Amino acid sequence: MQIVQAVFGVYHHFELAHQLHRRAHLQQIYSTWPWARLKREGLPRSLVSTFPLFHTTDYLLNRTRIYPPAISVKMNFWNTLAFDRWIANRIAPCDAFIAISGAGLLTGRKVQSNNGIFICDRGSTHQRHQEDLLAEEYRRWNLPQPPAKPHITLREEEIYATANAITVPSTVAKRSFIQMGVPAEKLHVIPYGVRLDQFTRTEEPPSDSFELLFAGQVSLRKGIPYLLQAFASLKHPKKHLTIIGTVQDDIRPMLATVPTANVTFTGSIPQHELAKKMSVSHLLVLPSIEEGLALVQGQAMGCGCPVLATTATGAEDLFTNGREGFIVPDRDVDALAARMQQIADDPDLQHKLSEAALQRVQHLGGWDHYGEIWDKLLHQLTSKPKDPE
């Protein structure tokens, strides 16, 4: 079985590529990052093809802070179209083509015409569902809406209709597709793995303070305003919240209007430092309003850090509410605050959740289990008639 992948940058696709390569299935992986960045992923150079012009240019311009968002949207769309066309002109016949959402319409159809399978791998909820949620969030906080992207949504939906199968990382993501009219039988849930060799408990949280942690993109999508409001109402003499991740432009005006006492913003940090910070935190709080499956949840559990997450994070596919952590409704400040307070007031509960998280994460199976599920699905799909549904 010969499999080709396409991904913007890296994401989880290089973990999948390693799994396919180990099983002698990987024919080629195409990426929009340059080889100078991709070589650290550890795959043979002969298996990696790169198309970095648009993506790298957009990345560098975004770092200048004088780059208009509307131009960035256009640059990303040009990258999408050019990358797809570039792959279509190079791809050899294969059994299946796995393209990250948005990357493979032209190529997917070419693969199908050669009797191959086209799989759309969507890392979050349905595109239109995602955009509707975010538009509502901007209105809720009275913030300017980002540039509209109807062309991207239409392309995404055309890909969903064309693909033989759509893979998503969580049940909540699957539900969003079903709500948008995509047949359930076309959807396959494959939760991401955890690098248990990197994310392990190395220290214990302090006993004289209550340390909370958020890790991820600091944005409206991640529910940061709800986190800060809930944390402000938490009663503890030595509470502290560390927010790790890059602050997005969409939330900067909001941060000036919400309470940030006892809150530290660190920006992005290396993975080994993140693992250490997770080990010494009493609780990871992830209040997202939209996700596919937040990787930091499994990473925190591997470090013995319980998770307090919203339904939107895909947490239901990782742990049981009340056993290894807590799952609360999206956008519910009171529910977030109540669970924070409960854990702050009950060190024994925090310890029980921590031990249960450590046990549970071992059963998630890491990326090897992820590879096994993919392998089974690929054999199943390639043995069926190849016409798209």
DSSP track, 53-104: HHHHHHHHHHTTS-S-HHHHHHHHHHHHHHHHHHHHTTPPP-SEEEEETTS-
pLDDT at 73: 83
- pLDDT at 386 (0 to 100): 53
**Domains, the chain, ranges and CATH?**
3-193+367-382 (3.40.50.2000), 210-364 (3.40.50.2000)
Is residue 302 a contact partner of residue 281, using CB atoms and an 8 Å limit? no
List pLDDT tens digits, range 89-129: 999 999 999 999 999 999 999 999 999 999 999 999 999 99
| CA nearest to 316, candidates 189, 172, 200 | 172
3-state secondary structure of 28: strand
Looking at residue 389, what is its pLDDT? Answer: 46
How far is 31 from 342, CA to CA, in rounded Å?
A: 45
Q: What is the pLDDT of residue 176?
A: 97
Report the pLDDT value the prediction gives residue 388, as an integer from 0 to 100: 46
Digit-coded pLDDT (tens) for 262-274: 999 999 999 999 9
Q: Give 65's pLDDT tier (boundaries 50, 70, 90).
A: confident
C-alpha neighbours within 13 Å on the C-beta side of residue 109: 9
Angle at Cα 335 formed by Cα 332 and Cα 339, nearest 5°? 145
Residue with tokens 């959807």: 187
SS3 of 169, please? coil
Higher pLDDT, 41 or 68: 41
Q: Quick one: DSSP state of residue 166? A: E
- How far is Cα of residue 346 from the mean position of the Cα atoms in its chain? 31
Instruction: Give the separation between CA 59 and CA 305, rounded to whole angstroms.
Output: 33
